[in-house]
Amino acid sequence: MSSPFLQPDNKAVLQRVLYKDICRRYGGDLNEKQASRLMKTVDYYVVEVYRVHGNKNIQFLNKEVLETVLPDYMAYLERQERSVTRSVVSDIEEGSAAAADSASGSTHEPRREIQDIDNAFTALQSQRQEVKTRPIMKDFQISLSEEPPLSMDVFERMKREREGIVVVPAQTTNTFVEASDSFLHGSKKAQEDTEFLFAEQERKKLERRANITLPVPPDMRAIYEQSSSQKGMTPNSAAANPTVVERSTLANLPQAILTKEPEVMAYRETETNLFLYSGDRDWVSNTTETRYSFTTVFDPAGLPGATPYYQTPTVPTRFRNIVRIEFIKAIIPGEGLDPLITKSSSTAYTANANMNALSFPYIQVRIPELETNSFGTNQGITTSFALIQYDANWINDSSLGAQRGYLAMIPKFMKCQKVFTTPLSTLQRLTVQLQRPDGSLLSTALDTLDIQTIYPSIAVNTDVFTGVGAVTNTVYKRDTAVDLSGSSYYWIRTNNYFNAASFSIGDRVLLKNIAWSSWTPLNPAGNQLNQLTNIIAFLQRSSGHILVSVGIVRGTGADTVFSDTPLQGYANAFLVRGDFPDPNATATLGVFTPNSPAGIADDPLAQAGSAANYLLANPVTSGRVLNQSRQVHVAFRVITREFDSTGILRPDNL
């Protein structure tokens, strides 16, 4: 079955479209020979296009024919026109005989006559040149005089003087010299008159703009002409000094007025420092972001939609017309990223090694919104914005073996920046990811934990927990001399085990959103409700708590077992210090004791109605903890382009 593309109807449509387009370009209709050539060209290319692209649809095939035939046929028309045009060589060879035959109307073949090449070229150039008369110079000078127009006689005289056309009669040499001197004197006088009229006109303009009357400057020509108007002047007269103006009139001068905005706008670049802190994210509700991968939103109030941008760090401003963004540095925690578990004996394990970010040759900083300005041998480097190396480190207490401090990482000997040739209108968000050389995050361990149960140390004793070895392996149990009516420590048990290197002794932690979905099976009321409210307010204080120790809590109810030693580098509980009074007020007692919750003594036996009883019997339904000492700080420099208004203001001392 024949293709619709090869049907005569389709060919006729193509020929008609091409004919109209070529006539429009050519500026007229085609003759019979040209139209026949067009039909043959279309038929040829239809067959060729179908032979090459026969499996394509008819729309594609028609488009290929149109794009191929049009330039080919237009080139044919150009060649035809060039072949008809008479050449210069034929004109030279035919000479005058051809011109004579053409004038007489003879139709016989012209006789070719070889002329001398120099004479022929000279004659050809003479025919091509046009003899043009020199145009008369017009007078475009604007008269500065406010007097009526001059008479035609004076106008003609001035015109001859400007053009330097002076008719010198046949006189003697002395007459010619006198005429020349007279002409020079008249020219100088006309020039002086013009300058004086221009100065007078400018003075009147200034008077109208400033609304003041300036003294009329003297006509210095009067010194030579002995004008009668200058005979009464005294030396050093103030009237001859146009700069003597009273101070009160300076406010009306043009210098005190803003000039019109120039047509060419002037801009200046402004540098702004941008700091991003991973701890500012909503770590209570947002469980997907970590300290090594978080997003910052700019000016969330101005963004459309109802997306909950409060779950990410926000910057309360928006940068506009950004021309360059530079990466300055990143401050990361010196925590152990991977646990290294070794054996000290056949049954004992230790995890003292700290495999932190310094175990890698570099750290990759990936910012998807800024694309990339680096290229490397792997996909991780190619998609990164900066490669950073160690610059400095610091710790708060070297005596704490688990305290690792912070590492300052910078792009050494490199300029990591994104330059926008056309300024970026605005930036809505910025995602920061710190990656290993293999492209994965520095650590997938969460810096937030979910709380399961809170154990007050006043109730951590053998009277409450009766299981075997319940409090044998911990020193953070009830001290009968200290835990009298309150708890000196609180055990915080988490839902999952965590790397002990992620929560180390000396770290500062924040606790939030501690609550119970219902007050069942116990319904606290009275003193018990006041105690619980006081304990929760203390644990959730904004200043946070210093982590005292990490350990293991296993079992439930009276069979719960406490241990201060992590299990192969992992733990599921940590301890914080209790609520103690000001030492200055209790120094006379000799022993510091914690405050009673809400001023009501807690029960060490965790009997019904006490805060300890409710905390042990009811695991919390919500509550999270964040390690503030494991957060990341990133610094950028943003350069924006702003309108420079200094170019349209004039200084006051002009």
Q: Which residues contact 286 (CB under 8 A, 6 or more apart)?
A: 311, 312
Q: How confident is the model at residue 449 (pLDDT cuts 50, 70, 90)?
A: very high
* β-pair partners for 243: none
Per the CB < 8 A criterion, the answer to whether 616 and 535 are in contact is no
Dig out the tokens for 239 from the structure. 């009237």
Residue 541 scores a pLDDT above 90: yes
φ, ψ for residue 410, nearest 5 deg? -135, 160
Contact (Cβ atoms closer than 8 angstroms) between residue 385 and residue 370 = yes
Tell me: do 214 and 273 sit in the same domain: no
Give the pLDDT band (50/70/90) at residue 223.
Answer: low
pLDDT of residue 466: 86
Binning pLDDT at 50, 70 and 90, where does residue 138 land? low
Alpha carbons 30 and 416: distance in angstroms, whole number: 64
Using DSSP bridges, classify how beta strands 406-410 and 314-315 pair: parallel, antiparallel or unpaired.
unpaired
* Helix or strand run (H / E) with residue 213: none
pLDDT of residue 272: 93
Please give the tally of structural domains in the chain.
5
Calpha distance 146→132 (Å, rounded): 39
Give the residue, 397 or 130, on which the prediction is more confident.
397
Q: What distance in Å separates the CA atoms of residue 386 and residue 391, rounded to the nearest whole number?
A: 15
**Structural domain containing residue 479:** 448-630
pLDDT for 475 equals 92
Measured CA to CA in angstroms, residue 648 lies from 253, 263, 280, 434 at distances of 16, 11, 43, 46
Angle between helices 58-84 and 32-52 (to 10 degrees): 140
- Tally of residues, the chain: 654
Considering the domain architecture, whether residues 478 and 622 belong to the same structural domain is answered as: yes
Task: Find out whether 523 and 637 touch, Cβ atoms under 8 Å.
Answer: no
Q: Are 241 and 369 contained in the same domain?
A: no
Do 461 and 565 share a structural domain?
Answer: yes
- Distance, in Å, from the CA atom of 349 to the CA atom of 632, rounded to the nearest integer, reads 31
- With tokens 């054996």, the residue in question is 343
Contact 635, 315 (CB under 8 A): no
Residue 111 has pLDDT above 50, yes or no: no
The CA distance from 472 to 461, in Å, is: 10
More confident residue, 303 or 28: 28
Residue 441 lies in a domain: no
For residues 640 and 425, what is the distance between their CA atoms, to the nearest angstrom?
10
- Are residues 417 and 332 both part of a single domain? yes
User: The tokens of 344 are what?
Assistant: 């000290």
Identity of the amino acid at 47: V
Q: Is 196 a member of any domain?
A: yes
pLDDT level of residue 237 (50, 70, 90 thresholds): very low
The CA distance from 439 to 383, in Å, is: 9
User: How high is the pLDDT of residue 228?
Assistant: 45
Distance (Å, rounded) from C-alpha 511 to C-alpha 451?
9
Tens of pLDDT, residues 272-325: 999 999 999 889 888 888 999 999 988 777 554 444 445 678 888 889 999 999
Is residue 130 pLDDT above 60, yes or no? no
CA angle 482, 487, 492 (to 5 degrees): 140
What are the phi and psi torsion angles at 14 (to 5°)? -65, -45
Q: Which helix (H) or strand (E) holds 15?
A: helix 8-26
pLDDT digit string, tens, across residues 325-377? 999 999 999 888 887 878 877 777 777 777 888 889 999 999 999 877 788 99
Q: How far is CA 374 from CA 20, 383, 390, 399, in A?
A: 53, 7, 19, 41
CA angle (404 as vertex; 403, 409 as ends), nearest 5: 155
- Does 99 score more than 50 pLDDT? no
Mean pLDDT across 491-500: 91
pLDDT category at 652 given cuts 50, 70, 90 is low
Q: Which helix (H) or strand (E) holds 26?
A: helix 8-26
CB atoms within 10 A of CB 550: 25
**Mean pLDDT confidence for 621-634:** 92
Kindly state whether residue 651 falls inside one of the protein's structural domains: no
Task: Report which residue type is found at 415.
Answer: K
Q: Are residues 44 and 181 in the same domain?
A: no
Give the lowest-confidence range in 65-74, 217-226, 343-352, 607-616. Answer: 217-226
Could you tell me if residue 442 is inside a domain? Answer: no
Last residue of a domain, one of 411, 435, 459: 435
pLDDT in tens, 146-185: 555 556 667 777 777 777 654 444 444 456 666 667 777 7
For residue 255, pLDDT over 70 is answered with no
Residues 47 and 66 in one domain: yes
Q: Give how far Cα 133 sits from Cα of 130, 136, 292, 502, Å.
A: 10, 9, 85, 97
Q: In this structure, are residues 558 and 605 in contact, taking their beta carbons and an 8 Å threshold?
A: no
One domain for residues 217 and 174: yes
User: End-to-end alpha-carbon separation of the chain, Å?
Assistant: 92
Q: Pick the last residue of a domain from 207, 224, 257.
A: 257
Handedness of CA 167, 169, 174, 179 (dihedral sign): negative
Model confidence over 258-276: pLDDT tens digits?
A: 555 556 677 889 999 999 9
Portion of the chain with pLDDT greater than 90, in percent = 24
At residue 107, does pLDDT exceed 70? no
Residues 282 and 387 reside in one and the same domain: yes
Q: Which helix (H) or strand (E) holds 42?
A: helix 32-52
Q: How many CB atoms lie within 10 A of CB 62?
A: 17
Tell me: do 458 and 601 sit in the same domain.
Answer: yes
In a domain, 59, yes or no: yes
Question: Which secondary structure element, helix H or strand E, spans residue 59, and what is its range?
Answer: helix 58-84
Residue that terminates a domain, selected from 257, 285, 300: 257
Distances (CA, A) of 542 to 283, 509, 534, 537, 545: 14, 10, 14, 10, 9
Q: In this structure, is residue 370 part of a structural domain?
A: yes
Q: Are 480 and 541 within one domain?
A: yes
Is residue 570 left, alpha or beta, with left meaning phi > 0 and alpha meaning psi from -120 to 50? beta
Please write the tens of the pLDDT for every residue from 47-60.
888 888 888 888 88
Please tell me the predicted confidence (pLDDT) of residue 101.
Answer: 47
Task: Note whether residue 137 is domain-resident.
Answer: no
Spell out the residues 6+ positions from residue 86 whose beta carbon is closer than 8 angstroms to its own: none
612 and 485 in contact (C-beta within 8 Å)? no
**Number of other residues whose CB lies within 10 A of the CB of residue 46:** 22
- For residue 263, what pLDDT is reported? 61
pLDDT per position as a tens digit, 502-526: 888 888 999 999 988 755 545 777 8
* Residue 485 sits in the same domain as residue 621: yes
Q: What is the Rg, in whole angstroms, of the alpha carbon atoms belonging to the chain?
A: 49
Q: Which of 93-107, 144-158, 571-585 has the highest average model confidence (pLDDT)?
A: 571-585
DSSP per residue, 295-364: EEEE-GGGS-S---GGGS-EESS--EEEEEEEEEEEEEE---SB---EESSSS-EE----B-GGGSS-EE
Q: What is the pTM of this model?
A: 0.56
Q: By 3-state DSSP, what share of the chain in percent is helix, strand and coil, each rounded to 5?
A: 35, 20, 45
pLDDT at 499: 85
Spatial separation of the C-alpha atoms in residues 407 and 333, rounded to whole Å = 6
Residue 172 lies in a domain: yes
Kindly report the backbone phi and psi dihedral angles of residue 520, in degrees, each rounded to the nearest multiple of 5, phi listed first: -100, 155
Q: Which of 52-61, 391-400, 569-578 has the lowest mean pLDDT?
A: 391-400
Tell me the three state secondary structure of residue 371: coil
